[in-house]
Structure 1
Amino acid sequence: MKVVITRHLPNDVTKELVDNFDVVMWGKENEPIPRKQLLEEIKDADGLFTNVADQIDYELLERAPKLKVISTMAVGYDNIDINEARNRGIMVGHTPGVLTEATADLTFALLMAAGRRIVEGMDVIRQNEWNSWGPFFLTGQGIYRKSIGIIGMGRIGLSVARRAKGFQMDILYHNRSHNKEAEEELNATYCELEELLTKADYIVLLAPSTKDTYKMIGKAEFVKMKQTAVFINTSRGTNVDEEALYHALQSGEIFAAGLDVFDQEPIDSEHPLLKLRNVTALPHIGSASIETRIEMARLACENLLNGLKGQPLVHEVK
């Protein structure tokens, strides 16, 4: 059987796949396989190892009559046409759980960097703008004992809340349902979205990408936030109206933003949000610790192996 891998992976991660199947692996780690080449390779493939940057849509699935398993090295799978895969009897695996703590680390790092203007301070030095000391030079927002509002209290949200507890922050959250663990362990308070937006000093968006969450944070939501609020998004860029975010930041409606995700990725240096000094931006690296990425790749390979051997996937999208 043939397996297509759309990014270069370490040999020790792919060894079992290589030993058991005919593996076609794209030779570059940081560049996507050309769409035309992927569509050609998928014609006789039984398994596909993919990631969030690859569009696994109707066109691709239509060209893959033998495809049995799709395994994505990610938690999210909004880049995959799940309904079409189901209609064709194709199993889809993903990698939840293993990236929770790494993403929570990055989320809280963004919160601190945006609130305390860390990157902006480094830019001041690099651009030779540090001329003297002033009483309010590069002053930011405090973090200790401030309030955090978490939108989406799943695994990652709970881990972010645990970090916030260490800073003695008041934890507010909004979710589809109450999270008893957060309430009992961390004394987190459930809020309707509007209440969270008006009360929180730091607003962290961790909602999944669905039809209901598409641009769920827009002009009306930014208006409700404090002028001192710091907005963090490490979920999906499509959950935010970027034009409204730009206006809120540029006009001073909110204080700052920390962003790891964008509506269209990758962005380039001309993206409007990057022109604002109160934006801390990262290239979608929420799970990018070495240990986590290796474990994600191993789990994605295990999903693929199991599916091709006719065994249950470790984590299958249902």
Structure 2
Amino acid sequence: MQRFEIKMYCSPEFPAYRMRRLRRFKIIQETQLKKDDFVYPLFIDENIKKRKEIASIPGQYRFPLKEIVEEVTSLREIGIRSVILFGIPSKKNMVGSEAYNKNGVVQRAIKAIKKEITDIIVIGDVCLCEYTSHGHCGILTEENYIDNDKTLDVIGKIAESYAESGIDIVAPSGMMDGTVRFVRKRLDDEGYTDVAIMAYSAKYNSGFYSPFRDAADSSPSFGDRSTYQMDYKNSDEAMREIYLDIKEGADIVMVKPALSYLDIIYRAKKMFNFPLAAYNVSGEYAMLKLSSLDQDRVMEEILSSIKRAGADIIISYHAKEFIERFL
């Protein structure tokens, strides 16, 4: 193979010299964040009368149903066009049946938002952990393992109930095998062919989720989620999971968390060149908020790194603050 030698010259003719003079202008900036990159997470609590700050996620709130339209309206006014909804129900049981209640907290929120705000993309997290009394993401066997196939049936019911309520995108997050294929068929069979699927394709069994579990009352009452979420030491497995979700009919794939998995985001974008979301999760957000770092500077650095790695969509608790300060 022929080798080429590139000589570097420290002179005005060498492009890097001119680039240094131009760095203060965004015209040569390779990675630029924009408002449409972001999805903002919202927690809707059926048990409260007024918004309540989440202690473990500073600056984030649980909202009562009556305040959710006002909050989404304010987000839309600053340029946020996409939100993802998480529900905290008034009652739970072993099978999480409130998750697919047609009058459930998320279902009512979808209807209320869509009635008042027409140009917002509403995404519904489709999972059972907030709704089951045991806090796991699926239906349990007698031996306390997840029954994958029984769980798929419930996930399908949740997705269908969201579609009936007017959702734009369903986001199944439980990492059950065959979820995307099952949900796509269920939605198509019921006539909801225009509802998209954002798959939590590479969702790792991470310690960065703890603040979210406080916020959503979704911590498992026993064990952990290592039998159905990915081992954080694995990279090739993530590519297989993403490939399968694309093949099964996903419209968007996701890597979660983001910061410790920038290599996964990069690999996924290079390998598949497919619409890719990254979830900048609660623990990543809280680490910065509780630190002595320059908040604005590091927030921009974090979000830029996620986009630079290849994410097209960034789900982040920073989104509102970042847009208000920088965009």
TM-score (normalised: structure 2): 0.30
